[in-house]
Copies of this chain bind each other. A is one copy, B any other.
């Protein structure tokens, strides 16, 4: 890798037949919320010798892809994205530092970010987190942003299409999300808006059980493979396919520099696990970790604009023996690092003992907690064991402390859990952590399919999200086997978008079923292009269709290669529909009236009628 550096090659093509639209704030005019509008073709029907043309509505869907898919915006990764949160620059509660605390690290590596912004933090005495604002009764621009984003439209335009009532297990999902509803959820800690004041490029999103289920994609270098450019491209790629947040889990070289490029170019919240970089600073020797090294790392990362930190403060010295007889021990990187430190020093986890200090730093930048599940089960056998739930109790205790200092908090969860044990996880977490948003990794519902763990875990993720989990951390086909590449990232993101949407439907999230209805209608009417364009992955749908019927004419054909023209049930259904059924009913009605309107008639002697019973 040599400098000066060409910007990474990024995928920026807009989605097919889609238009990026923006919704404007009413309370906060600078708020501009992206949504994707998928246009449909018209339905053509023969009516006698005429063709009737019925237009089909545009379908609005969530859009996490950022300005990359806006043809009106030209992006240079060396300059970072445009600021979706311009109000931060003039916020009087914030002060700009004269230099970066991490200046030494900024230059360390092959690819320094050219246009480093100066960091900001809360002025002394100012309470600047979203939670603190919410508790004061304020509706911040971020709150209005996410309200519009959840509705996908201005509040007064909402119409609920055909949708099955949901079973939300006690969640309280309103029909229209208002900024005031957002404020109230954030105030009570039941939702978080991860939005570091140093991440002005962010298009904010909300994570909580009363909102659409969100998904996270992981990326990051390891010592074995990958590069900064690859990871930036993965971030753009992951958000293109639908990741609501991205975690940078780099453990290789140049962690700090890699992260700068990612945050400056990310339209979604970025999460990290600061203990990884702290460990790199002590040359990989867990026992050499100190509070001071960790504290500095928090500040460096908060200055860059990281929106949430995974902190394994629940890995308590007393809990570690509970994991001694596990089938797969401690599978969390952070958890195993901290456990090693605890035992080496025979002391309580310094993240736990310094928790109030951590809160103070995070509150100054509005970094959100993701309280780590260092003792999560890494095998079916270890599911719901004493180690796991002991940690959960501590996380509940820490949640209260974090809230007292105004720090937004979510709780991480498992792991590997067979289906019959999933519900208990949700029930306990809601109670112990007072409905703080739950953020699970899957869970995987069986261990026997490495190579397919995006599927073993999508099965569990859909269920735990239905029960109330607010965000799902994706799992790719590479889980347990190696670092994911671009294809794995896409497979993982789509599998998790499926799980999240299945949960939204099951919860009865208002409007969620609109996309299913539109796609099924397009399918039934053989509007193939519309069916593809409405799909989560239009390219894959089109590609699989074209494997056996590539010609353009096949896109108007009333069949596909599964059954061919004679056997296509949808084609036959069309033949059945209006004409046959209604005509048949009308004829029978006429026959009835003409026959004297008798309900019972004598059976003709010549025609015995066999019946089934």
Contacts and interface: CB of A to CB of B under 8 A. Distances in A.
Interface of A: 162, 164-167, 222-225, 251-252, 276, 279, 284, 286, 313, 320-321, 323-324, 327-333, 335-337, 339-340, 343-344, 346, 348, 352-356, 378-381, 383-384, 397-398, 401, 416, 418-421, 445-452, 454-456, 458-460, 462-463, 466, 477-478, 480-483, 485, 494-495, 497-499, 501-503, 505-508, 513, 515-517, 519-521, 523-524, 531-532, 534-537, 540-541, 543-545, 547-549, 560-570, 572-577, 580-582, 584-585, 587-588, 609-613
Interface-centre pick from A418, A516, A519, A609 (highest chain B CB count, 10 A): A418
B381 A513 contact: yes
Nearest to A502: B445
B462 A459 contact: yes
B162 A329 contact: no
Interface-centre pick from A343, A524, A548, A567 (highest chain B CB count, 10 A): A567
How many copies altogether?
Answer: 2
Contacts of A222: 561-564, 567
A243 to B, nearest CB: 16
A582 B324 CA distance: 9
A498 B446 contact: yes
Contacts of A344: 580
A352 B456 CA distance: 41
Given A419-B466, A449-B494, A561-B224, A567 B251 contact: yes
Contacts of A535: 448-451
A89 to B, nearest CB: 36
A328 B523 contact: yes
A447 to B, nearest CB: 4
Contacts of A565: 223
A355 to B, nearest CB: 4
A482 B548 contact: yes
Contact of A331 (B477, B516, B569, B581): B569
A362 to B, nearest CB: 15
